[in-house]
Structure 1
């Protein structure tokens, strides 16, 4: 309905706007609640994400391998060792008898790269035979008959020869063929000839492949490679230049508490950071402090309490002797020196008390964090879903208020327009009457 506001001197549009401000107040309160709930959901989602990450970290921190950190050191370059969790701390000496080496053939007659070198007395002039002497059938290789073609055929990965070939330049335009196995050890030997078995390039001088060998306390161990897997339970020994035959190395396997300290400290720091965040968002407010957006949320406070209580073993003992305690501010405190001393004294006890197996500290933290952040039924996940449903209902209410207010404005506009029309008519009538009265003749006495 069209408005004629102001014709009578009465501004109906202004009155309608002022009345609508009063009518809009409930909608404004709903919108404020929506924004507040959205902020709460954002805070919950952040806590949920951090708890999921903490669950993963606690599982990794407490896994068995993390508590058996061993380092292996050697006194001789080229002699190294690695140790696994199955290894006991120890020290031993090892003497290098020999390093593993490949089987090698050096052919006597030089030739040009383009010279014909593969022909035998009765064989195909471009075919050579490679016998790897391992019980498998000999491999016949087709070449173009030249020295370069022979090298290419031996090195072609598609042929799977198990050898590598090189043409060594000995004079201008003159080369000698060198072929060696890609593997090391005594079982790496092979033979190379024309297809009919006749020798190539004047025959070859062989350097036999050898197994690596080391001696420990009078016991000799061999390996086809320069790596001795499980030379002792959990210990792998490796040889490489500059280690030489006859050199002796002292290997020391020792526990390394530093890695355990770092892992536990990182876990404690993450827990404390989360506890601080929980305290911030659930703060009740007071003198000099802001009220948290999740103040009074019982579920959130419950997760905070469970996370803090994870430091206490279920048998009623404490972790104080392992360096983990609580302070009066509701946070965890780690004494790294006490942890290192406890680990050095009894690593298995520390692993059981702090690890993620059984009822260890990391296991309890993992379970609390996982229970809170599980994708479907986690405590905070459910809280997020509940608040999001509430936001949808509030949004529906806001939409309904939009329709209601639109109808209310239409009604008020119609009413005040009718009132202003009536006032205008009355004003016109008053003016007409005043004119009529003014035109009447006046009488004296």
Structure 2
């Protein structure tokens, strides 16, 4: 509520006066808003520090994981055989020698036809029998029926397209696809073949078709290349020789942590799986980089410039500043850890004083950062992989524990500051109501003042008129 015409009777700018009075009235609310803005800036700084601490924890967790130290690199002596190392807890170093005795393939059956477009070329139906293939002692492929046969009706006009469409849509009694794809191929003019191909490789994915006997070119029937498993002959020519089969050309369980893929017949193939020191070195480098990022962020957020006498959002936070010192002290004090050993089934713990982390290539630089010598680490790992693995895992575990503790402290502070902001915002909202009431009161007061002055002015004008008359 306000006067209809600002300062009509008094000549005063009442709106401006009310605005200035409200600025004075709202001073406490303005201070609260400033506190909220400051607290939000501080929270952003805490969150920035916390993100770096969590990144360091993640890198330390990776270094402290046994799976990281089981990283492998695999090489093959053959261009026709590839070896891919997956590593992991099951990964093991070693080598394997074998012959590729056979490669996996899908079954292919064809029938030659004089005219792929001719109608009535094929019978009204054929029968497809699922089964598997094996090879007898004479090297002859043998088919063994598995499951029930499926009768496939060939619709009119019973030409090549009709046959292949019927086979492609055929399913067994349970509605499961037969896993066969058929298609016509024109070879010359209208001559061609109808080809039936299994969708899966491996001897167990075979089939046999009856009903097409003698209807091909010159009375020919189906010509079949049997489905076959891939077979490796391991340790060939020795007393330890054995064979391993796969329905595909991939063997994933032959060497722990290594997948082998074959593409052609070959003899004398050697696969070597060795520890991937490059990957482990990268894990250590990643931890050092993450730790340096944390150190730099904490230093930035707590910095103070004596020339400008300006501080950073967390300059006065001793807890955060102390986090840098904790990590640097851990590096400078060297590595000590507990080791569990088992003798005759009895577990016992012993303290291991590993000493300076420079043995792992980790040291402190003059500018308060961590330095990492990858060459020194690689040499130490090559000289004594067991010792370096044990110490590296212990170091990663200790850094992870430290950063986890620090991150929880920062998280709790952030939570407390957010609660404080919520409380301040609630007070600000209460002030909104209080100030609105006060503004309305001032508007009524000045409106009443203008009204009273207007009446007095009218009375004065009347009296002046009367006196003049």
TM-score, normalised to structure 1, is: 0.72
Alpha-carbon distance in 1 for matches of 2:17, 2:198: 101
For 1:42-441, list aligned pairs within 5 A. 42-85=44-87, 86-91=90-95, 93-119=97-123, 125-132=124-131, 133-144=144-155, 145-156=158-169, 160-194=177-211, 201=216, 202-215=220-233, 216-218=235-237, 219-223=241-245, 224-240=247-263, 243=264, 245-287=265-307, 290-308=310-328, 311=331, 313=335, 315=337, 317-355=355-393, 360-373=394-407, 378-395=408-425, 403=434
Consecutive unaligned residues of structure 1, counting only runs of 5 or more, are 120-124, 422-445
Q: Does the CA-based 8 Å contact 1:110-1:174 persist in structure 2?
A: yes
Counterpart of 1:177 in 2: which secondary structure?
A: strand
Deviation at 1:199, TM superposition (A): 6.3
* Aligned match of 1:35: 37
Q: Does the CA-based 8 Å contact 1:55-1:366 persist in structure 2?
A: yes
Task: State the structure with more CA Rg.
Answer: 1
Alpha-carbon distance in 1 for matches of 2:425, 2:266: 83
Flag the 1:203–1:93 CA change in 2: closer, same or farther, 3 A: same
Q: Does the CA-based 8 Å contact 1:115-1:146 persist in structure 2?
A: yes
Deviation at 1:239, TM superposition (A): 1.0
Please list the CA deviations of residues 391-443 of structure 1 after superposition, one character each: whole Å capped at 9, or x if unmatched: 34445566677858996996xx99xx9xxx9xxxxxxxxxxxxxxxxxxxxxx
Alpha-carbon distance in 2 for matches of 1:13, 1:97: 99
Question: Over the residues paired in the alignment, what is the CA RMSD in angstroms?
Answer: 4.3
Q: Does the CA-based 8 Å contact 2:72-2:257 persist in structure 1?
A: no
Counterpart of 1:153 in 2: which secondary structure?
A: helix
TM-score, normalised to structure 2, is: 0.69
Please list the CA deviations of residues 275-298 of structure 1 after superposition, one character each: whole Å capped at 9, or x if unmatched: 111122223553567422112324
Deviation at 1:40, TM superposition (A): 0.6
Alpha-carbon distance in 2 for matches of 1:214, 1:12: 99
Flag the 1:381–1:233 CA change in 2: closer, same or farther, 3 A: closer
Alpha-carbon distance in 2 for matches of 1:393, 1:109: 87
Alpha-carbon distance in 1 for matches of 2:38, 2:52: 21
Alpha-carbon distance in 1 for matches of 2:18, 2:92: 88
Please list the CA deviations of residues 46-75 of structure 1 after superposition, one character each: whole Å capped at 9, or x if unmatched: 223343344344434543332222222223
Flag the 1:112–1:44 CA change in 2: closer, same or farther, 3 A: same
Alpha-carbon distance in 1 for matches of 2:367, 2:200: 64
